[in-house]
Amino acid sequence: MFKLWSRGIRFQMIVIVSVLLLVSVLFMTADMLFYSKADDVLIKDLEKKITGTVQSLSKQMTEQLSTQILLEGEPGQNLPSALEKSFKDIARNHAENYKGVRLGIYIVNQDQIFIEGFLHDFRPPGGEGEKQREQRIYQETSAGIKAVVSGGIPITKLGQTWDDQFIEYLAPIHLNSKLVAVVWAEERVHPIFAQNARTRYILRLVILITFCFGIGATLLSTISLVKRVNKIKDGLANMEKDFSNTLPEMTGDMGQITNAINKMASGLKEKEALSEQLRISQNLASLGRLVTDIAHELRNPICILQCTADLLEPKVKHNPELNECVFMFQEQLKRLNLLTEELLDFGRPMPIKRGTLDLRILLESLIETIIPLLQKNEITLNFSNPENLPNIIGNKEKLKQVFLNLFFNAIQAMPKAGVLTIQTFAKEKLICVVVNDTGEGISQEDQSKIFQPFFTRKTDGNGLGLAICKKIIEYHGGSITVESQPGVFTTFTVCFPIN
Amino acid sequence: MSLVRILIVDDEHGIRWALEKALREEGYEVFKAASGPEGLEVLASQIISLILLDYKMPGMSGLEVLERIKETRPDLPVIFMTGHSSIPTAMDALKVGATAYISKPFHLTDLKETIIKVLDTRMTN
């Protein structure tokens, strides 16, 4: 078998089925070619015996009748009775010496036969009479008789009924080159051989059908097994790429296997997600510390620059050129200050102070503050804020910061008019706020990055706004997602768990 | 009006330089120290009416210096300079006895206002 078990299941099955097939075919061929020859030998033997008997019978009759003709002249009208007498004399002798052989004579143009001897030793009591028997045998033999009469040569016939087989030899008797009668002998092949042959035939048929059926069923089930195994194989390859690619549903044992694998994969996926989350939060925490340190280190140089600029400012008031320089200083210092504030905000641990909040009131107050900006940019506001929304628990100032950030981003994305849609709704155990703008949109590639710290496409941004928003939202147990089609729209959805 | 003598304790040379310049312009007499121990030395040898004390310094921190000052001169006004809006530090400083705090980076005008406010309170007391 060498390395058979390390080969594919399809190959293994083909080898096994082929071996089975080969062995069976060899045995059946041997059986057909050699073992059934036993019957033929027996039949040959019987044939020889009855051929000999008939030849001897016909020879003796021909000699007897020829002698009669020599002594008494042409028999003429008496030929049939001479034939009958001669047959009975000689055949009886043969039948008595040779049990189980039946001899018969048909006298041409007489439409009558005579029989000596019996095929069976056993005869039922009250059986058919002599005439009836002769009639029956005549019917059975008539085909052979006709053949010999018309052909003029002897024939051998192998007859068969359901459970019996017999052999016949028919030969013509010529007198003066004229066919005058047909004599024959017949003998049963022992019934056990006939039955054996039949049984063997049926057995072979049954074995063949069963075998074909077995091979067919094996092949079908193998093909189906191979298909399922291949499905699992392909499924596992897909799963390797991504644990969310589950294996297809299956029935039976394979179904149990795929279910177990799917269960394992979803467990691994969960674990992977958790460790990814842990990794991200660890990264964020260390990033937070780094950012805080940097911001703290920046405060002294900024302070020195700020004080220097402040010192310079009154002194250059009357020199427009220098005054402009100081103004630029001050502007950039403001920016640096804002950046360090935001960096600290990002790195700072969240406040512990939280209370029950009505998002509706919070949003309304925020929208009031942005209305002048909306008017300036010719932005239409579409604000739907249903009452009776459940409260959430959170830090009011931090959440204000989140929504202001989202509103400002939306406004910045629509410098030349547009529609800002703000909607709130409750969904299952969440309360969600959707902020949609008809601005420039965000490319698919950028959508996955916009919540990362320091990622920005704005020329004057520091890339911290959305990172801080996400941090605050996640601190509240919520989530923020983005959906956008560049040039068409951008939608941010913020959801918080209901108190 | 007697001359107001201000001691600046900060490890940053730039801060000391800028504040000295600004405060001198305002007519204050200015002393400088680059560390806590140096500041305490100046305090022991000079008559000081107000201290500008940085929080974050290598070696002795601003809070430690503040504690030491409070041991010898409990009534001396101290303006604490903290980092970016680090309120908890400022609160600690006030608890230990700082008179006021200002967060870095600040505008000179804010610092000057704080100094005047602190000195006014001192005068009325």
B21 reaches A (C-beta below 8 A): yes
A139 reaches B (C-beta below 8 A): no
B56 reaches A (C-beta below 8 A): yes
Q: Rounded to whole angstroms, how far apart are CA atoms A132 and A126?
A: 12
Distances, alpha carbon B16 to alpha carbons B10, B23, B63, B117, in Å: 6, 10, 19, 21
Interchain contact, A303 vs B21, CB within 8 Å: no
CA distance A480 to chain B (A): 28
Q: Which residues of A164-180 are buried (b: 16+ CB within 10 A; e: fewer)?
A: ebbbbbbbbbebeeeeb
pLDDT score, position B92: 82
Around Cβ A7, how many Cβ atoms within 10 Å?
12
B105 reaches A (C-beta below 8 A): yes
A263 reaches B (C-beta below 8 A): no
Place of tokens 């009924």: A161
Instruction: Name the residue in chain A with its Cα closest to that of B11.
Output: A300
Around Cβ A343, how many Cβ atoms within 10 Å?
25
Domain ranges of chain A: 4-34+197-232, 36-189, 253-346, 352-497
Instruction: Name the residue in chain B with its Cα closest to that of A306.
Output: B107
Q: Are strands B5-9 and A479-485 parallel, antiparallel or unpaired?
A: unpaired
pLDDT value at B37 more than 90? yes
Suggest the residue from A291, A303, A345, A353 to mutate for an interface test with chain B (most B CBs closer than 10 A).
Answer: A303
Interchain contact, B15 vs A303, CB within 8 Å: yes
Q: Is A197 in contact with A73 (CB distance < 8 Å)? A: no
Of B18, B56, B104, the CB nearest to A311: B18
pLDDT digit string (tens) for chain A, length 499 residues: 456 677 777 787 788 888 888 888 888 888 777 766 777 788 888 889 889 999 998 899 888 888 888 888 777 778 888 888 889 888 888 888 888 889 999 988 887 788 888 887 666 666 667 788 888 888 888 888 888 888 888 998 887 766 677 889 999 998 888 888 999 998 888 777 767 777 777 888 888 888 888 888 888 888 888 888 888 889 889 888 888 888 888 888 888 888 998 898 888 888 888 888 788 777 777 877 888 888 888 888 999 999 999 999 999 999 999 999 999 999 999 988 888 888 887 777 766 678 888 888 889 988 988 888 898 889 999 988 888 888 888 888 889 889 999 999 999 899 888 999 999 988 888 899 999 999 989 998 888 888 887 788 877 777 888 988 998 898 888 999 999 999 899 999 999 988 7
- Which two tokens mark A188? 């049963």
Instruction: Name the residue in chain B with its Cα closest to that of A292.
Output: B84
Q: Is B78 in contact with B54 (CB distance < 8 Å)? A: no
Instruction: Name the residue in chain B with its Cα closest to that of A295.
Output: B84
Q: Is A236 in contact with A247 (CB distance < 8 Å)? A: yes
Mean pLDDT of chain B: 89
Q: What is the pLDDT of residues B79-105, one digit of tens each?
A: 999 875 667 777 888 888 888 989 888
A301 reaches B (C-beta below 8 A): yes
A488 reaches B (C-beta below 8 A): no
A311 reaches B (C-beta below 8 A): yes
Q: Is A394 helix (H, G, I), strand (E, B) or coil?
A: strand
Whether ipTM tops 0.85, in short, is yes
Phi and psi torsions of A230, nearest 5°? -65, -40
A333 reaches B (C-beta below 8 A): yes
pLDDT confidence bin for B111, thresholds 50/70/90: very high
Interchain contact, A310 vs B109, CB within 8 Å: yes
CA distance A317 to chain B (A): 16
pLDDT confidence bin for B21, thresholds 50/70/90: very high
Of B19, B22, B105, the CB nearest to A299: B105
Cα dihedral A448, A453, A455, A458, rounded to 10, equals: 120
Among A286, A307, A299, A403, residue whose Cα is nearest residue A341: A299
Interchain contact, B18 vs A295, CB within 8 Å: no
Fold of the CATH domain A253-346: Helix Hairpins (1.10.287)
Instruction: Name the residue in chain A with its Cα closest to that of B85.
Output: A341
- Which two tokens mark A324? 């402009």
Question: Which A-chain residues 386-425 have CB contacts (< 8 A) with chain B?
Answer: none
Chain A residues near residue B109 by CB distance under 8 angstroms: 310
pLDDT confidence bin for B1, thresholds 50/70/90: very low
Of B21, B56, B85, the CB nearest to A311: B21
In one-letter notation, the amino acid at residue A44 is K
Q: Which residues pair with B81 in a beta bridge?
A: B54, B102
Number of alpha carbons in the 13 Å side-chain half-sphere of residue B11: 13
**Which domains are present in chain B?**
5-124 (3.40.50.2300)
Angle between helices B36-45 and B62-72 (to 10 degrees): 20
The CATH code belonging to domain A36-189 is 3.30.450.20
Q: Is A262 in contact with A247 (CB distance < 8 Å)? A: yes
Number of DSSP helices (H) and strands (E) in chain A, helices first: 11, 12
Q: Rounded to whole angstroms, how far apart are CA atoms A54 and A74?
A: 25
Q: Which residues pair with A490 in a beta bridge?
A: A437, A484
Q: Rounded to whole angstroms, how far apart are CA atoms A424 and A364?
A: 11
CA distance B76 to chain A (A): 25
pLDDT score, position B86: 65
User: A352-497 sits in which CATH class?
Assistant: alpha beta
Q: Do A36-189 and A253-346 agree at the fold level?
A: no
B67 reaches A (C-beta below 8 A): no
Q: Is A347 in contact with A292 (CB distance < 8 Å)? A: yes
Between CA A484 and CA A496, with CA A490 as vertex, the angle to 5 degrees is 100
Chain A residues near residue B17 by CB distance under 8 angstroms: 304
Q: What is the pTM of this model?
A: 0.49
Q: Rounded to whole angstroms, how far apart are CA atoms B9 and B64?
A: 13
List the strands of the sheet with B5-9, edge to edge.
B29-33, B5-9, B50-54, B78-82, B100-103
CA distance B8 to chain A (A): 14
Suggest the residue from B19, B84, B101 to mutate for an interface test with chain A (most A CBs closer than 10 A).
Answer: B84
pLDDT score, position A112: 79
